[in-house]
Amino acid sequence: MIRTGVDGLAGRPIPLVDLAAQHAAVAQDVADGWAQVLARTAFIDGPQVAAFETEYAAFIGTGYCVGVGNGTDAIEIALRGLGVGEGDEAILPANTFVATAEAVRRAGATPVLVDCADDGTYLMDSAATAAAVTPRTRAIIPVHLYGQAAAVEQLMPLARRIGGWVVEDAAQSQGARRHGTGAGALGHAAATSFYPGKNLGAYGDAGAVLTASAELATRLRTIRNHGSPRKYEHDVLGVNSRLDSLQAVVLSAKLRRLAAWNAARLAAARRYDTLLGEVDEIVLPRTLDGNEHVWHLYVVRVPDRDRVLKELQAAGIGAAIHYPVPVHRTAAFAGLGYPDGTFPVAEQAAAEIISLPLFAEITAQQQERVALVLKSALR
Residue type, 134: T
Q: C-alpha dihedral over 262, 198, 319, 291, to 10 degrees?
A: -50
Length of the chain: 379
User: Each residue of 20-33: pLDDT tens digit?
Assistant: 999 999 999 999 99
Residue type, 146: Y
The pLDDT of residue 3 = 41
In this prediction, residue 11 carries a pLDDT of 78
Domain residue spans in the chain? 23-252, 258-378
**184 phi-psi bin (left φ>0, alpha ψ -120 to 50, beta other):** left
- 258-378 CATH fold: Aspartate Aminotransferase, domain 1 (3.90.1150)
Q: In what order do the strands lie in the sheet with 177-178?
A: 181-182, 177-178, 291-292
User: Which DSSP symbol is given to 201?
Assistant: -
- The string of pLDDT tens digits covering residues 183-225 is 999 999 999 999 999 999 999 999 999 999 999 999 999 999 9
- The pTM of the full predicted model, rounded to 2 decimals, is 0.96
Query: How close are the terminal C-alpha atoms of the chain, in Å?
Result: 24
* Across 322-337, average pLDDT: 97
> Band of the pLDDT at 9, cuts 50, 70, 90?
low
Decide if 23-252 and 258-378 have a common fold.
no
- The pLDDT, as a whole number, for residue 10 is 64
Q: How confident is the model over 71-82, as a mean pLDDT?
A: 98
Is 342's pLDDT higher than 90? yes
Residue 6 reports pLDDT greater than 90? no
Which alpha helices (H) appear in 107-146, and where do they start and end?
A: 126-131
| CATH no. for 23-252 | 3.40.640.10
Question: Is the pLDDT confidence value at 117 over 90?
Answer: yes
DSSP, collapsed to helix, strand or coil, labels residue 328 as helix
Cα separation, 172 vs 314, in Å, equals 27
- What secondary structure letter does DSSP report for 341? T
pLDDT tens digits for range 234-269: 999 999 999 999 999 999 999 999 999 999 999 999
- For 283-304, letters b (16+ CB in 10 Å) and e give bebeebeebbbbbbbbbbbbee
Is residue 109 exposed (0-12), middle (13-18) or buried (19+ Cβ within 10 Å)?
buried
**In the chain, where does DSSP find H-type helix?**
19-40, 47-60, 71-81, 99-106, 126-131, 156-162, 214-224, 245-276, 305-314, 344-352, 364-378
Whether 8 shows a pLDDT value over 60: the answer reads: no
Would you say residue 72 has pLDDT above 60? yes
Lowest model confidence (mean pLDDT) among 2-6, 30-34, 366-370: 2-6
- Residue of 279, 375, 349, 358 whose CA lies nearest to 318: 358
The C-alpha atoms of residue 167 and residue 186 are separated, in whole angstroms, by 9
Report CA dihedral (8, 275, 195, 254) to the nearest 10 degrees.
110
